[in-house]
A and B are shown apart, each in its own frame.
Chain A
């Protein structure tokens, strides 16, 4: 249902991708870990390699949890599907688009 308005009502998104240049916003949702009240939001270059994304953005955030183990095995997901990122793959190559939510969960066993 469109907004009922006295005049033309057409405004751009205030968080559209072009406002971030070559970067995009990416969310990381640490599932099954209530220490973090919400998923994290990062600004990351589309061309950032997964290994750098992990070590420069995710680890410094997650290690604030005293139980966080960067060496643990993690199950990743994107768009409701499992994701198997390689360290050298870029976010773009992995199919991560602006404002996507990447799921992260410690694998059992």
Chain B
């Protein structure tokens, strides 16, 4: 018997790269007594060909312990900020209570999407054949769940003092304007795994992330919302990993087989327009909801989309035969009018929403006219002037009825003809003898590509008329939405506005 040298028995410490290798590749095996097609049954029906899953490169090479350590550190920092803000009544230092309309939209419209993303990345973590993309999807799935939780936790402080935060999940499932983001994500969830990767991993997380997610965080930092800003920072390192996953996914599909290129191009065409239509809500948020402006929608679109994506990303993707998305010219042509048209719509339907709206102040109008010199004074100022007269006469523009909705994006049919900002764009298609209207060339193209999918759309207006939404009257529907007094309508004189004035009058009295 020999006694082993003590030093040689000590476990060898593996490098991070080795540990990643062990975790992803060594825990994977080729099935021998089950057909691989039965193990991974969802990766062939979309018509994508993958020759070699091992070619997937995960540039981050995270391991479970490293992942948990980073996330725990970030959470600690975030929760310290949340505590400090809550204890010091930080909400009183926001620019105005009306700023929180942007956060209501975020909690109602975006946070539930994080949870949906968590679910589908968990599905990819099981169903993709390669161990590299499975582990990357697992990390993203956990990230998305963490984002859901931290966003809810961050904004729960606002729920103690303000309206519109109390019932976001039910609202997301039921309220008309939230069917826009919900149906967008539902469309992706109902796709195959590769289309989902292009829809969410690439289009949502890469192509449009600076127009979808970042504007809320920048808006928070400009309006004194330290907790949301900190949440944004906390999510940022995850988001850069998600962007890399999205980019890696598209390159992987394109490099695996040339026959994948037309399929991927069609998904880019579809998901660019689907995502772009969701950004309509962000456009109005940037230009109308933030008391202190970060940048205009037009500037954001030019910088983050035209400069960075069209001139940067698509120049790179041209190597693979990928061209800029179909209908991108229509999106570019809308940048001067989009936010005005959308806010005018939300303004006149805010009696049925869970946020509040107001006529822009003189100072705000001046900014709009300077920022949009070609369009604001010419097309939209007269509407607000007429509304001021209407209010002076005792009115307030709330539409008495329900709008026509686009069958694909589900936004009221408010968008105008390319090149003619005064004529509403009406497109009509027929499928199995039934008419379906869409708001744009982009949405019509998407409908006609897969009509069987979009005929199933749960359009809020049609559902109200079918009697599925609590009853026929506005109060019936609002009760079914879970909307309470103070959540909706005009901001000036609203519950939030009155409380805000009261709290600040108290601080003036106390000499604070």
Note all chain A residues with C-beta closer than 8 A to B42: 6
Instruction: Give the distance to chain B from A17, nearest Cβ to Cβ, in Å.
Output: 7
Q: Which of A12, A14, A66 is within 8 Å of B393, CB to CB?
A: A66
Q: 1/0 contact trace for A44-76 toward B, CB 8 Å?
A: 000000000000000011001011000000000
Assess A34 versus B434: contact at CB under 8 Å? Given A41-B404, A64-B397.
Answer: no
Q: How far is the CA of A17 from the CA of B436 in the complex (A)?
A: 12
Asked if B414 is an interface residue, CB under 8 A from chain A, the answer is yes
Q: 1/0 contact trace for A1-22 toward B, CB 8 Å?
A: 1111110011111111101100
Instruction: Give the distance to chain A from B358, nearest Cβ to Cβ, in Å.
Output: 17
Asked if A40 is an interface residue, CB under 8 A from chain B, the answer is yes
Contact, CB under 8 Å: A39 / B424: yes
B residues 418-451 near A (Cβ < 8 Å) are 422-424, 426, 428, 431-432, 434-437, 449-450
Q: How far is the CA of A66 from the CA of B431 in the complex (A)?
A: 39
Contact, CB under 8 Å: A3 / B453: yes
Q: How far is the CA of A68 from the CA of B452 in the complex (A)?
A: 40
Assess A38 versus B404: contact at CB under 8 Å? Given A17-B434, A20-B466, A43-B465.
Answer: yes
A64 nearest in chain B by CB position: B400
Note all chain B residues with C-beta closer than 8 A to A40: 399, 401-404
Contact, CB under 8 Å: B345 / A101: no
Note all chain A residues with C-beta closer than 8 A to B423: 31
Contact, CB under 8 Å: A38 / B401: no
Q: Which of B41, B47, B458 is within 8 Å of A4, CB to CB?
A: B47
Q: Which of B45, B412, B435, B452 is within 8 Å of A97, CB to CB?
A: B435
Assess A14 versus B455: contact at CB under 8 Å? Given A29-B424, A34-B383, A101-B428.
Answer: yes
Asked if B46 is an interface residue, CB under 8 A from chain A, the answer is yes
Assess A34 versus B422: contact at CB under 8 Å? Given A6-B41, A13-B456, A14-B458.
Answer: yes
**In the complex, which of the residues A16, A29, A37 has the most CB atoms of chain B within 10 Å of its own CB atom?**
A37
Asked if B395 is an interface residue, CB under 8 A from chain A, the answer is yes
Q: How far is the CA of A97 from the CA of B458 in the complex (A)?
A: 21
Note all chain A residues with C-beta closer than 8 A to B424: 29, 31, 38-39
Contact, CB under 8 Å: B404 / A27: yes
Instruction: Give the distance to chain B from A101, nearest Cβ to Cβ, in Å.
Output: 6
State the interface size on chain B (CB cutoff 8 A): 53
Q: Which of B383, B414, B450, B456 is within 8 Å of A2, CB to CB?
A: B450
A67 nearest in chain B by CB position: B386
Note all chain B residues with C-beta closer than 8 A to A5: 45
Q: How far is the CA of A6 from the CA of B40 in the complex (A)?
A: 12
Q: How far is the CA of A102 from the CA of B93 in the complex (A)?
A: 50
Contact, CB under 8 Å: B414 / A37: yes
B residues 453-469 near A (Cβ < 8 Å) are 453, 455-459, 461-462, 465-466
Note all chain A residues with C-beta closer than 8 A to B163: none
Q: How far is the CA of A2 from the CA of B454 in the complex (A)?
A: 12
Q: 1/0 contact trace for A91-104 toward B, CB 8 Å?
A: 00000011111000
Asked if B484 is an interface residue, CB under 8 A from chain A, the answer is no
Note all chain B residues with C-beta closer than 8 A to A6: 41-42, 45, 192
Assess A11 versus B404: contact at CB under 8 Å? Given A16-B434, A20-B465, A37-B344.
Answer: no
B348 nearest in chain A by CB position: A37
State the interface size on chain A (CB cutoff 8 A): 42
Note all chain B residues with C-beta closer than 8 A to A12: 455-456
Assess A99 versus B434: contact at CB under 8 Å? Given A34-B422, A37-B344.
Answer: yes
Q: Which of A1, A32, A41, A64 is within 8 Å of B403, CB to CB?
A: A41
Asked if B57 is an interface residue, CB under 8 A from chain A, the answer is no
Contact, CB under 8 Å: A99 / B414: no
Note all chain A residues with C-beta closer than 8 A to B400: 60-61, 64
Contact, CB under 8 Å: B192 / A61: no
Assess A14 versus B457: contact at CB under 8 Å? Given A41-B402, A66-B389, A98-B435.
Answer: yes
Q: 1/0 contact trace for B344-359 toward A, CB 8 Å?
A: 1100100000000000
Instruction: Give the distance to chain B from A10, nearest Cβ to Cβ, in Å.
Output: 7
A17 nearest in chain B by CB position: B434
Note all chain A residues with C-beta closer than 8 A to B341: 37
Note all chain A residues with C-beta closer than 8 A to B397: 35, 64
Contact, CB under 8 Å: A3 / B452: yes
Q: 1/0 contact trace for B37-66 toward A, CB 8 Å?
A: 000011001110000000000000000000
Contact, CB under 8 Å: A99 / B435: yes
Note all chain A residues with C-beta closer than 8 A to B450: 1-3
B411 nearest in chain A by CB position: A38
Assess A101 versus B404: contact at CB under 8 Å? Given A4-B192, A14-B458, A38-B414.
Answer: yes
Instruction: Give the distance to chain B from A16, nearest Cβ to Cβ, in Å.
Output: 6
Note all chain A residues with C-beta closer than 8 A to B379: 34
Q: Which of B345, B431, B434, B462 is within 8 Å of A38, CB to CB?
A: B345
Contact, CB under 8 Å: B455 / A66: no
Contact, CB under 8 Å: A13 / B455: yes
Instruction: Give the distance to chain B from A23, nearest Cβ to Cβ, in Å.
Output: 8
Instruction: Give the distance to chain A from B393, nearest Cβ to Cβ, in Å.
Output: 7
Q: 1/0 contact trace for B372-393 toward A, CB 8 Å?
A: 0000000100010010011001
Contact, CB under 8 Å: B437 / A101: yes
Task: Please name 12 pairs of A and B residues whose Cβ atoms are closer than 8 Å in the assembled complex, sorted by A.
Answer: A2-B450, A3-B450, A6-B42, A14-B455, A14-B459, A27-B437, A29-B404, A41-B402, A41-B465, A43-B465, A60-B400, A99-B437
| Apart from A31-B423, A37-B341, A66-B386: 19 A-B pairs, beta carbons within 8 A | A5-B45, A6-B41, A6-B45, A11-B452, A11-B456, A15-B459, A27-B437, A32-B422, A36-B348, A37-B348, A38-B345, A38-B412, A39-B403, A41-B401, A41-B405, A41-B462, A61-B401, A97-B435, A98-B434
